[in-house]
Structure formats: C-alpha cells, structure tokens
Structure 1
Amino acid sequence: MRRIVAGVAGSVLLLGGGYAYADARDVVPGWITAAPVEVPQAPFITAAPVAAAPDPTAAPVADLDPDAPRPDTATVQSLAEAVRADPRTGESTNISVIDYLDGTVYADLSAADPQVPASTTKLLTAVAAVGHLGADFRTRTTVTWNPTTRTLTLVAGGDVMLAAGEGHGGTVGAGDDPAQGWAGLGDLAAQVAAAVGDDAAGLTVVVDDLAFPGPAWPEEWPDYAFDMGYAAPVTGLAVNGARLSDDNYAQRAADPSLHAAGLFIAALGERGLTVEGEATRASSPVRDDAGATEVAAVESAPLAEVARHLLAVSDNTVSEAVARVLALAMGRPATPAGGASAITLALRDLGVPTAGLELYDGAGYSDRNQIAPAMLTAALTVAREEPGLFGLLSWLPLAGLEGTVESRYVGSPVAGFWRAKTGSLTGVTSIAGVIVTADGRALAVAILADGMPYGQERPQSAFDEFLAALAECGCEG
C-alpha cells in the first residue's frame, strides 16, 4: 500500500489539480469493437473537450518538496532493465529516469539513443513553441477590405480552432475547452459589417493563406488519418480543426481555408452583407494590395491554452499548426520541414540536447522521427526553469482522471501521481511525464519502444508495471 509521508500531500494537490476530461482512450476506435480494423494504430485519440485550469501559466513546481527522500539509483536502474528484458517489450526499449528538480540520473537504459517517438513528439513541440514564443502568444486572423474591387480578404494567421460563429474569448463553462473557439468568424463578420456599413452588396471574398505554403498534408502522414478523421490538412486557417460536424472523428474538410471562408460568407450574410459567388484563394499576398486596409481582426487563445489542448487530447492538426506558426516566428517557411527545423532550434536555445534529433512533423505521425528518451526528460526539466513553461506540468493529463491516461490507470498506484504524454504507432509505444514516488520525490520519466509487433496492450502493461513500481517506491538511496 502506498505510504503517505511529508511532502506527498502537496504533490498530490499538484498532480491532481486542473481540469477533467471525459472518455479518452489511447487506442484506435476499432479496438473497442468486436471486429478488427485493418489500419495502423493511430498515434493519438481525441478526448472530449476539457475545462480550463485556473491559470495555465502557474508554477506548480513550487508545491514539490525538494527535500523528499531520493530513490536508490541501483534499484531504479534494475527496474528499468527488467522492462527491456520483459517479453512484452524487447531490446528496443529505452528508458530515462531523472530527478525532476535537479536532473540526477536514476536510470539510463540507452537513454541517449534516438528512436521513433510517436506522439510524445508533441511534448517537444509544445516546449519549443511556448519556450520560444511565450505562454501569452496569440495568432491573429484578419480581414482586409478593398472598396475599389469590393474584395474582402480573409487572412490566415495560424488559428485552426476558430468558431464558426462568435468566439467565447476565454469565458467557458465546465467541460468546455478554452482553446477551441476562443475567436470566431462571427466576430470578424460583425467587425466587417460595422466597417463596410451601407456598402454591403456585391462583395467578393478571397482567402489568403499564402504564408502557409504547405504541403498542407505532410508527406509523412498516412492517408487513413484523413479518411478516419484523425487529422486535417494544415493551411493556417480552420474552423474546429476543419471538422465537418461536431464529432471528434468527423470527416475533415479537404481544403480547410476555403471551408472556413465559406462559413465566413455565411456569417456575413447573417449580418446583411451580400457576397457574390463562392470564396476563392488569393494568387498574391494581401500585403501587395495597396488598396486594401485591415477592417477586422481576432486573436486566438493564448499559446499556453493551445499547448494544454494539444498535449491533453493529442491533437495532430493543432500540433502541426503550432510547429508552422513557430517556423514563421523564427523566419522559416511554414512548411512541415520548416516547423521541424524551428522546433529543433528552439529546443537547442532552451538547453535541451538535440544531438541525434530528427523531426519530419510536429505531431509524431512520421515513423522517421527520431527522439531519445533523454531529450524528453530534459525537455521536462528545462521547462521547470522557463517562466513561459511553468504551467507545463499541469498541461499534461493526470493518470486515472484525464485525457489519454484517464482510463489506463484507474485503480493503479500510478493514478493521481503521474502526468504524462502518451504515444503509439504500429510497432511503437511511448510515454513521457513526471511521477511522484511514495516518498514524495518527483521523477521525470520517458519510456520508448519501437520495432515491435502490432498492438499496444502488451508493451503498455509492461510500462505501467514499471511506473507502478516507481510510484510505490520507498527505495531510499
């Protein structure tokens, strides 16, 4: 039975605070049916909407006890070696366990060797973006008006979670996701109506997403991800992740920008403005139109909220969009390669070791991505010292209660003491986060295994037994 000692109470409050999720599973939809699904396993599962934590930029690390007893290094190393020796995993299982507060290494099982990370890639995307841009960074979606040509141009700024109507601006109810629909096309339409006034007929709508040249659908992403609603093309502009209905796995718009522009036209119509024909895509950036002036603008949710969202529900579309926004901010093209390069450089600037790091997307769908467990644990500890990333620990879902680890740890010693980002692809199982031991010591942990047979149950169960052993560890050094 878990021993509760001095310092653990604060850690429980730290790990248990925040927001609750509903019905998240870290398996593909086909696994909950009687019949098998003949597609590779998805690297994420989208949870139901989440409620906001009181402050996404708060520093929960202050609640951890720096004097809590440390685990015995030999014991933790032995536990890690047993995971690799377990027939449910294999020789490709690599592990890093370090002290979350001071970086002391407790287990190193080829921790510096890069391997396929699956969706734990998103942890690096979030750390890089928020670390470089700041927790309060927001993207802008704008509209320009050229009265001579009677053209309204909807300009993409990177927000792929716009509302079709009015945005909530951060005022959400219990169970709602603050990142989704912070701003809306209805807000833009209202501003346009006020600016255009009586000159409201015979308008043309153009969408300018040229700052996001693509390819909108990364070459590394499988077609089934679009077909099954796991992701949308990334064009820098979308309503609700380009979903065509409210279902999490709804079909996505093939062209999210034009889809959003169509909804914008509808919003204009609701406010008495008449648009001729359908929206078209600009052939040159609106900045080259000397007769155009900005008449409407909205801002996305703060990046801290966006990061919380992408980590909690493992959102591929949002993760890739964040990577491309980071690329633009760092003077690189908003392409999959540009986003990957920007993540690497931002991590390096933060002090995360990047030797051997290879990225081809910001979400973790690519099976060519290469991340070492030690990079993930380093990212967790570097975030502890970076003001914009003080909230990272609370952005990761809490085992047994939230997100992709909600049901996985129910009844386990890990529940309530482990915040983590999961990852899964065919033959790949990974997880990384922070766990608090029975003695109240916080440990950063990353476990990655690739090159395995199809199926997540066996490697996950081996990982989780290791994590339970850490959670119950009273193995003082």
Structure 2
Amino acid sequence: MRRIIAGVSVGVLALAGGYLYLDAQDVVPGFLTAEPADVPQAPFITQAPVVAASPGVDDAASSLSADAPRPSVSEVQELAEALRADDRTGTSTNVSIVDYLDGTVYADVSAADPQVPASTTKLVTAIAAVSELGVDFTTQTTVTWDRSTRTLTLVAGGDSMLAADEGHHGDVEDAEDAAEGWAGLGDLADQVLSFLGEDGRALKVRVDDSDFPGPAWPKEWPEYAFTMGYAAPVTGLAVRGGRLTEGNYVARASDPSLHAGELFVEALEARGLRVQGEVSHASSTAKAVEVASVDSAPLSEVARHLLSVSDNTVAEQVARVLALESGYRATPAGEAKAVAAALSDLGVTTAGLELYDGAGFSDRNQISPATMTSALLAAKDEPSLSGLLDWLPLAGLEGTVETRYDGLPPAGYWRAKTGSLTGVTAIAGVLVTADGRPLAVALLADGMPYGQANPMAAFDDLLGALAECGCEG
C-alpha cells in the first residue's frame, strides 16, 4: 500500500459558516479552496513555477509509463458494479473506467447512459475550448476614443478576471493564481493617459459588451448561485468575476460590465484624468479609434484556474468566447453548439450529449461517463491539450480535491474534476494505480437523496481500491 507520509501539516481554512465548510469539502456546489498541503513528491506533482508573461510548465503526463502492469478487467468491473450496488449510491450510478494510454475498457456500468454531470461539465468545456482555440489564445479588452464626444468606451472581449488596477501579467508564484488579474484596468488607464495626456478637459466613459448578448444570467442557473456568491452574470467584461469585496463567496455585481466601467473611472482619475457623468452602456462608434488594449491570461492558465477552483463564471465565459470564435452567437445555445462541435472534431463520443451551460449548474445537462473518459483520451492525443493533467487539481494538494483525500490512497495519484448539485454526485479524471497504470475514470450519480457525504464516500472507496490496486490482469 502506498502511503502519504504521516505528520504532514495541513493548514485549516477558517470558514464563516458550516455551508462554506461543506463547500470546501465539495459537499455542496462551489469552488472554495484552502492553502496547499505540504505533501511529498508524487508521480503527478509538478513543481515548475509560473514565470512572468509565460504559462507554467506542464509535465505530469511525462511520468506515465506504457509498460506499467494492467489491472484485472474482472476485478475492476467487480469494483464498479459494487459501487452501483452500494446502499450509499443507487441504480443511477454509472461508471466508465478505461486505460488512459490505450483505451482498454476495464469497467462499464451503463457508461453510455447520459446523466446530470454537475461541475464535471467544466472538464468538457475546457477540453473543447483549448482544442479549438489553442493554449496561447487570449481575449482582448480594449478602449476606444471618440474625439468628437470625448468618450472613452471600454469594450468587452471576454476577460472576466481583470484586475481593478495593474495586472501581474503572469508574475506570480502559484500557478493556480496565474489567470486571475493577469491584465488590469490600470494598464488600460496608463495607455489612455499616454495617448490623451493631461489637458484637464473632462471626458465620459461608456462600456460596450454587445458581443456578449446573453442572457447574462443563464435561465438554467438557480438564483441562490448569485445571492450566495457562487457566480456572477456573464457579460464578457468583469473585474475579479464581478466580486464587490475580497474573498470567494461574496456579493457580486448585478452588472459586471458597469462595475468594471466604474472601476475604470477610478483608475483614470487616479492618474489625473477628469471624468464627468455616470458610466453607461453604449456601443463604440464607427469613428472611434482604439487607444488601449490588454490581453487576458493564456487559455491554458484560464483552463487551469476554472478546473482547479471550479469557477462557474469563468467556465461560462470561456464557453461563450468559444462560441463567438467558432462563428456562433455568444449565448448558452451558441456555446452548446460550439462545445459539441469541438468535441466531435476531437473524435469524442458525444451520444446523448446535451448542454445548457458551460459550468454545470444546469440540471438539464446530460453527459455520459463514456463521453467523459472519451474526452480525456482524446485530449491525451491532442498537442494543445498536453497540459490537461497539470490543469486538473491533484488530490491532497490542490483545488477542490485538496482536502477531500487527505490521508487517503488517491492523494498524490488522482487528478480530477469534481461535481455536485442537489441529488447529483460526480467526479472524473485520471488515476494512477499502485502498479503505475494510468486509468481514465468517470463516476456519475444523479437521482440521489439530499446530501453528498454518502455517495462521495462510496466513490472514494472505489477510487481508493483502484489507487491501491496491484490486481494485475
């Protein structure tokens, strides 16, 4: 049995309320995380830092060996069937476990049956977007200037993680933090000042998010997601996901574009420019000229962020940018078409796929476990997705699986995207067995009674058995 060395000091995150504690354990929907644990080096762990203006180095896949012994098909199938028979799950629990390197099927329990995937939807969103747009793809937030009306227009390009002032442009220590605040409104304000100079005359500020027609709040999303700070309306332009204060689960702006415009005014005024009137919505005029522009984080870093912390706003924004770049409207319907088309182009099994959002809040989304594992295998063979394993959080160390596997066999050997809604428990990713064989795993259960503890425990018992498996076929 592999063991993580005892005595590891794990920082406990002080949470304001039991609901947020449960969220940190992925018992309820959300993306709260804690400080990384000091865990010894494991096969999947990477230690390369993110350097300024460059994405982090991805190398988790390099440790995988095609010569590692295979597990017994009969034993893995037995584990999967036992999961469905477990009284903590139920008959809607479906399983797909395949060899990550060559696709050999080790377990299939109604794997082709589509069901509600919750936040594991983000896995297919990220795979589709990166495969279509590339790891280096960025969005641009721009400012135009209409001299005749002395109007600056802040134009949305799809970055919902702008900084209120200057961006860090990749100069961070932790790769998980790279996408947030890569570019900033202060960077735009500096460029505007350089162009206009300080002539003392007043100017006006408008925001243009017309490329993202919405609905900004998907009709499939529950209202509590906004009131509890799990997501913001998606408008193509936001500072820190529309958050109004520091923290993850905090109040969000009802109109993130206007909120960003107001913060842009503050950045301009801090640099000596004078702004008059209130910020409002208006399309940039034909005679306006571009005077400032900033690029978002590379899509690879955005994918790492949304998968690691399960960021609903960012995932939905990425899906809409994919739609726009693929020739569809940046709407939920457009993004569903774009994601499905990108997955099909990769050769992913998409039978039964239905999408109503890119984040997984919709309980009408339908994805089968077979589609999940098929997407993981297709990503392995797509050069632009070579870093996917590094973007998925590592059990016992990162993101939504940091504390869930503390002291359990999957810690250090399981990279996964979690998912939970009322009555839905899901998880998908890649796990390395005790013999070093990587397995693509998707476990989905819907129609469950209220509460995540029982089905999650049953899932993790199976994953623990796989992680310790020396069951050579």
Fold-level similarity (TM above 0.5):
yes
Aligned twin of 1:145: 145
Deviation at 1:387, TM superposition (A): 1.2
The amino acid across from 2:19 in the alignment is G
Aligned twin of 1:65: 65
| Change in CA separation of 1:81 and 1:24 when aligned onto 2, cut-off 3 Å | farther
Aligned twin of 1:250: 250
Deviations 1:433-454 (A, max 9, x none): 0000011000000000000100
Q: Distance in 2 between matches of 1:353 and 1:362?
A: 18
SS of alignment partner, residue 454 of structure 1: coil
Aligned twin of 1:17: none
SS of alignment partner, residue 275 of structure 2: coil
Q: Distance in 1 between matches of 2:240 and 2:128?
A: 24
Aligned twin of 1:339: 335
Aligned twin of 1:95: 95
Aligned twin of 2:171: 171
| Change in CA separation of 1:60 and 1:41 when aligned onto 2, cut-off 3 Å | closer
| Change in CA separation of 1:31 and 1:260 when aligned onto 2, cut-off 3 Å | closer
| Change in CA separation of 1:136 and 1:48 when aligned onto 2, cut-off 3 Å | farther
Aligned twin of 1:445: 441
Aligned twin of 2:33: 47
Is the 8 Å Cα contact of residues 204 and 279 (structure 1) preserved in structure 2?
yes
Larger mean CA deviation between 343-352 and 166-175 belongs to: 166-175
Is the 8 Å Cα contact of residues 127 and 383 (structure 1) preserved in structure 2?
yes
Aligned twin of 1:120: 120
Among residues 11, 19, 28, which one is paired with 1:30 in the alignment? 19
Q: Distance in 2 between matches of 1:230 and 1:22?
A: 23
Q: Distance in 2 between matches of 1:300 and 1:457?
A: 38
Deviations 1:297-345 (A, max 9, x none): 0000000000000000000000000000000000111111111211111
Q: Distance in 1 between matches of 2:462 and 2:69?
A: 19
SS of alignment partner, residue 122 of structure 2: helix
- TM-score (norm. length: structure 1): 0.91
Q: Distance in 2 between matches of 1:270 and 1:52?
A: 37
1:373 equivalenced with 2:369 (yes/no): yes
Among residues 399, 404, 411, which one is paired with 2:407 in the alignment? 411
SS of alignment partner, residue 441 of structure 2: strand
Is the 8 Å Cα contact of residues 183 and 298 (structure 1) preserved in structure 2?
yes
Larger mean CA deviation between 71-80 and 175-184 belongs to: 175-184
Aligned twin of 2:264: 264
| Change in CA separation of 1:347 and 1:175 when aligned onto 2, cut-off 3 Å | closer
Deviations 1:12-67 (A, max 9, x none): 9xxxxxxxx97689xx952648xx9xxx9743223258898555463532321101
Is the 8 Å Cα contact of residues 49 and 175 (structure 2) preserved in structure 1?
no
Aligned twin of 2:456: 460
Q: Distance in 1 between matches of 2:397 and 2:174?
A: 15
Larger mean CA deviation between 76-85 and 406-415 belongs to: 406-415
1:95-244 aligned within 5 A: 95-174=95-174, 177-244=177-244
Q: Distance in 1 between matches of 2:359 and 2:206?
A: 29
The amino acid across from 1:234 in the alignment is V
Deviation at 1:176, TM superposition (A): 6.7
Deviation at 1:265, TM superposition (A): 0.5
Q: Distance in 2 between matches of 1:24 and 1:370?
A: 34
Deviations 1:251-298 (A, max 9, x none): 00000000000000010001111111111101xx42xx2321000000
| Change in CA separation of 1:179 and 1:73 when aligned onto 2, cut-off 3 Å | same
Q: Distance in 2 between matches of 1:23 and 1:388?
A: 36
Among residues 390, 396, 411, which one is paired with 1:394 in the alignment? 390
Q: Distance in 2 between matches of 1:22 and 1:320?
A: 31
| Change in CA separation of 1:52 and 1:29 when aligned onto 2, cut-off 3 Å | farther
| Change in CA separation of 1:259 and 1:321 when aligned onto 2, cut-off 3 Å | same
SS of alignment partner, residue 203 of structure 1: strand
Q: Distance in 2 between matches of 1:332 and 1:44?
A: 28
Aligned twin of 2:314: 318
The amino acid across from 2:114 in the alignment is P
The amino acid across from 2:382 in the alignment is E
Aligned twin of 1:8: none
The amino acid across from 1:44 in the alignment is G
Q: Distance in 2 between matches of 1:306 and 1:67?
A: 33
Could you tell me which runs of 5 or more consecutive residues in structure 2 were left unpaired when the two chains were aligned: 5-9, 37-46
Q: Distance in 1 between matches of 2:397 and 2:100?
A: 22
The alignment of Structure 1 onto Structure 2 pairs a total of residues equal to: 450
Deviation at 1:173, TM superposition (A): 3.3
Q: Distance in 2 between matches of 1:23 and 1:183?
A: 31
Deviation at 1:402, TM superposition (A): 1.2
Q: Distance in 2 between matches of 1:397 and 1:312?
A: 5
Q: Distance in 2 between matches of 1:431 and 1:30?
A: 21
Q: Distance in 2 between matches of 1:49 and 1:264?
A: 31
SS of alignment partner, residue 294 of structure 1: strand
Q: Aligned Cα RMSD in Å?
A: 2.2
| Change in CA separation of 1:298 and 1:32 when aligned onto 2, cut-off 3 Å | closer
Aligned twin of 2:345: 349
Q: Distance in 1 between matches of 2:101 and 2:124?
A: 19
Is the 8 Å Cα contact of residues 125 and 343 (structure 1) preserved in structure 2?
yes
The amino acid across from 2:214 in the alignment is G
Q: Distance in 2 between matches of 1:185 and 1:49?
A: 28
The amino acid across from 1:209 in the alignment is D
